[in-house]
Amino acid sequence: MGGADARIIRNTALVILALVTLRLVAAAFTPITFDEAYYWMWSKGLAGGYYDHPPMVAYVIRAGTMIAGDTELGVRLVSILLALPMSYAIYRSAAILFGGARVAASSAILLNVTLMAAVGTLIVTPDAPLLVASSFVLFFLAKVLETGRGAWWLAVGAAVGAALLSKYTAMFFGPAILIWLAAVPKLRRWFLSPWPYLGGLVALALFSPVILWNWDHQWVSFVKQLGRAKIEDFRPVFIAELIPTQIAFATPLVFILGAMGLHALTWHRAGALASRVLIETMFWTIVAYFIWHSLHARVEANWFAPVYPPFVVAAAAAANLVQWKPRTRRLVDFCLRWAAPAGIVMFAALIVQANTGWLSGYRRDATVRSVGVGWRELAAGIEAARVRTGATCVLAPDYGTTGWLTFYLPRGTCVVQQNQRIRWVNMPEPDPKLLAGKLLYVDELRGDGHPFLSELFTQVTRVAELQRRRGPLVIETYGVDLLEGARGDVLDRSPPPELLP
């Protein structure tokens, strides 16, 4: 390794360490989102599967809270630290596929400055471990290509298995790998080798707890996730959201480089055939599905997490390998030079805005509903009402409110979602004695109230109206109702809609 390469590696490592440190600081003072609170509750009842997703996010959160406690930082700690092995995997993938420390360093840094990685590892959802596992899928496939050794297929299977334990989107890695092998003549020999199939068995073995959990629960998670987009629901309006949201999540300059890189791999023949086809199949196989999905239903921006590893490698190839015309070269150089500063500024601005609302003049924005700003103060008011009324348990109408209440109320407080009990099948049922006494029902104020409460209880009394605020902005106003005289089971145990005929 030359002195220049050693310097590039050192500087890249320092940049990534600084970015991870920045996320850790942001994690410590940014209230958790309702999804994070929900997944944190999963981590208290570890299982092979859950109603919404496979279990990896719960294990990631559990590992973090074992180190840093049930705090915002504890929930996010391991997810953020996983950016370090993720960065190594991307660095090595790019170095193997396209050669050179500059391409490798650019890939690792560009991935880390996207909002997909910066926010996606800070806000812990199933996409965080999926992004990390996807990076290792690409790395181990690159090792198969570099070494020609069949044993690396076992590592590929392990990475795909970890990705499947994170999110069902990882199932598209199978078709992507098959297309890659079929499209590159020198790789077709692997179809006659046992190693890829053994790798598939490794992935299946790792994924088997999810299969067994679904078998025990009427396949509800599979039905829920695999039935999202239905052909009869043709609504192409959603496709218009794809590019703008991905420009934001990739950050504009990284998006430009990535788009140019994908073009260059196809038309400029940048790099060897096997390397180019690997990047293209790992990107386009999943993107093609989401384009189809968007013709029928909304595609959330974070769903594209598994295509970001090949996307940033393509971006780095565009910046460092392709011989562009002078005007295009100036654009590429500008994007490469300013991608990291722009991404850092966007991340910092998003964190400041989510916590304070300053940048919008305290007006509503996309973060105001999901980030739990104001919940600590709101929970204090709810706890005061609970103590004052002698309520033994708090009921909530949805999983987000349930998660926030459980996280921000004093530890050990009985909090139960009144409906959708399928979400909590991995957790102990609430103590019937706690549900038999006085209860509080907490929900946003609604114009029609909650008429079903009067059917379940002989007496429903409004005891408080509390606001959740971000600075001067009132985000929501919650009604706190005292429930007395239960007429029967206070929990709605109806089957989930996915299992209804």
DSSP-derived 3-state class of residue 371? strand
Alpha carbon 28 to chain centroid distance? 19
Q: By the 8 A CB rule, do 439 and 483 touch?
A: yes
pLDDT at 229 over 60: no
Residue 325: both structure tokens together:
């015309």
Q: At which residue do the structure tokens 């992507």 appear?
A: 176
- How far apart CA 473 and CA 470 sit, in angstroms, is 5
The contacts of residue 243 (CB under 8 Å, 6+ apart) are none
Cα 137 from Cα 89, distance rounded (Å): 9
Is residue 91 scored above 80 in pLDDT? yes
Name the β-bridge partners of 465. Answer: 479
Q: For position 270, what pLDDT does the model report?
A: 76
Give the C-alpha separation, 434 to 401, whole Å: 19
pLDDT category of residue 412 using cuts at 50, 70 and 90: very high
Whole-model pTM: value is: 0.94
**Structure confidence at residue 114 (pLDDT):** 97
- In eight-state DSSP terms, residue 265 is I
What residues have CB less than 8 Å from 5, skipping those under 6 apart?
101
Count CB-CB contacts under 10 A for residue 480: 22
Percent of all residues in the chain with a pLDDT value above 90, rounded to a whole number: 85
Report the SS3 class of residue 482. strand
Q: Which of 76, 64, 92, 135 shows the shortest CA–CA distance to 308?
A: 135
Q: Which residues contact 366 (CB under 8 A, 6 or more apart)?
A: none
Say whether pLDDT at 228 is over 70.
no
Q: Tokens 């997944």 sit at which residue?
A: 39
Q: CB-based burial of residue 342 (10 Å sphere; 0-12 exposed, 13-18 middle, 19+ buried)?
A: middle
pLDDT in tens, 286-330: 999 998 888 877 888 889 999 999 999 999 999 999 889 999 999
CB 332 within 8 A of CB 314: no
Alpha carbons 233 and 26: distance in angstroms, whole number: 40
Would the pLDDT of 230 be above 70?
no
For residues 439-454, give the mean pLDDT. Answer: 90
Mean pLDDT, range 458-476, rounded to an integer = 95
Sign of CA dihedral 297, 300, 303, 304: positive
Mean pLDDT, to the nearest integer, of 413-425? 95
Amino acid occupying residue 157: G
Concatenating the DSSP letter of every residue in 267-291 gives II--S-HHHHHHHHHHHHHHHHHHH
Q: What is the 8-class DSSP label of residue 392? A: S
2: left (phi over 0), alpha (psi -120 to 50) or beta: beta
Mean pLDDT along residues 13-40: 97
Across the range 442-469, mean pLDDT stands at 92
Average pLDDT, the chain: 94
Q: Name the residue type at position 224.
A: K
481 pLDDT more than 80: yes
DSSP 411-473: TT--EEESS-GGGGTTSPPPPHHHHHS-EEEEEE--TT--HHHHHHEEEEEEEEEEEEEETTE
* Residue among 84, 71, 6 at smallest CA distance from 40: 71
CA within 13 Å, CB half, 110: 35
- What are the structure tokens assigned to 391, written together? 């309520």
Q: Nearest CA to 146 among 95, 200, 104?
A: 95
Residue 19 in tokens: 């970015």
Q: How many CB atoms lie under 10 A from the CB of residue 366?
A: 11
Residues 159/109, Cβ–Cβ less than 8 Å: no
Stretch 222-230: mean pLDDT: 75
Nearest-angstrom CA–CA distance, 484 and 264: 68
Q: How many helices (H) and strands (E) does the chain have?
A: 21, 5
pLDDT of residue 232: 58
How high is the pLDDT of residue 233? Answer: 66
Residues in the chain: 501
Identify the DSSP state of 474: E
